[in-house]
Amino acid sequence: MKKSRKLSLAVGGTVVALVGGVWGYTTLNGATPLDASKMATVERGTMTRSVVATGKIEPIAKVEIKSKANGIIERINTEVDHLVEVGAVLVELDKENLRAREREARANLQAARAALEGSAAQFEKNKVEAEAPELDSARRNYDRAHQLHEQKLVSPQALDDARSAVDLAQNRKAAAQVQLGVSKAKIAEAQANVAQAQAAVERAEEELANATIKAPIKGTVLTRDVEIGSPVSSILNMGSAATLVMTLGDINQVFVRGKVDEVDIGRVRLGQPARTTVETFKDRKFEGKVTQISPIGAEKDNVTTFEVKVSIDNPGNELKANMTANAEIVLEEFPNSLIVPEAAISYDAQRNPTVEVVDEKAEKGHRKVSIKTGVGNGTRTQVLDGLKQGEKVVLPS
């Protein structure tokens, strides 16, 4: 027991002496052990010069669905996130009143056609009357009576009666000709009534067809803004204030519409590759390219920016509309470059860059080194001279 106790005391004393010695050495030399989280390794890789355009994920095509007919929602055939084809029935309105209006319009059309037929028959009758076949007969009778009167074979009264018959036939002809013009006008009126009734039928048919709302594009249902029983106002009556039924979008292809500072816009070109990141998939980059550059800048707070559109293929529909996205537009790439974090670089009054390199032999465990830098992207910087691959640099506290 006594021997074990003595051994424990001896070991403990040795440990204390060692710890004290290390503490004394580091204190005397002024070196403080560096936290590994405050160091970064000089790496070799491809350095990219880029600009970042921040915006929202938007579908390549987006359509707000509104109704052309007024009514009440009777049936909804799709839900949010469903894929629909062109012409697919999305929503149906209550059609009872619309069907009644269509039947009424058809009945009015039938009545108008019947009136047109009656006007046409009256016209034919007046046409025959206007030809006045009895006038020729009356004139022949008068000529015969006149000859007989000269031969003293008929009385003057008979001649007067024959003359009166001619006058009466002429008056009837004149009246029939006037009535013929009236009948012709009535035919034109009846034809206009038929055309008006036909238009009313077509309008009623169109309103009935509009009560079935179909998909104008192939796309995904992004929003559904109504429920069964909801009233719907027509876009033909209300314009932009009409009821929004749902929103469709083609998200097989999406884009980010971001802003680029005027300092960088001169290096942005159509077709340049771009890598897009979103908060949901932090470790993934979605490949795309620049497809549109605004020709006019917008100024805000004395800063001028240009709108840039970056298109991205999205076959798995992983990117959702309105996600916040950062599109890194690649301007230049420099392979086989030495790269350090931008935060590790300090600048003196003359803007000369330096870094603190880990060096166990140095008094504080690190030493200042002057470097020559190349391009940077805001987080990492290319080093052209002054460092070697694998060296450790100190990050700021």
Q: What is the pLDDT of residues 2-59, one digit of tens each?
A: 344 443 433 344 333 333 443 344 444 445 567 777 899 999 999 988 888 889 999 9
* Ramachandran assignment for 181, one of left (phi > 0), alpha (psi -120 to 50 degrees), beta (any other): alpha
Please give the pLDDT value at position 397.
73
Candidate from 123-127, 242-246, 340-344 with smallest mean pLDDT: 123-127
Taking all residues of the chain, what is their mean pLDDT, rounded to a whole number? 83
Residue 381 tokens read as 């910087």
- The CATH fold assigned to 62-94+211-249 is OB fold (Dihydrolipoamide Acetyltransferase, E2P) (2.40.50)
pLDDT in tens, 298-333: 998 889 999 999 999 888 889 988 899 999 998 888
The pLDDT tens digits of the residues spanning 124-145 come to 777 766 665 665 665 666 566 5
Weakest-pLDDT range from 36-40, 238-242, 354-358: 36-40
pTM metric for this prediction: 0.58
312 burial class (0-12, 13-18, 19+ CB within 10 angstroms)? buried
Cβ-based neighbour number of residue 106 at 10 Å: 16
Q: Is the pLDDT of residue 245 over 60?
A: yes
Alpha carbon dihedral 226, 231, 235, 239, in 10-degree steps, equals -90
Go through the chain and tell me how many residues it has.
Answer: 397
Helix, strand, coil fractions of the chain, as percent rounded to 5? 40, 35, 25
> What are the phi and psi torsion angles at 132 (to 5°)?
50, 65
**Given this model, what pLDDT does residue 24 score?**
44
pLDDT of residue 154: 63
Q: How many CB atoms lie within 10 A of CB 329?
A: 26
pLDDT at 288 over 60: yes
Q: What is the pLDDT of residues 370-380, one digit of tens each?
A: 999 998 877 88
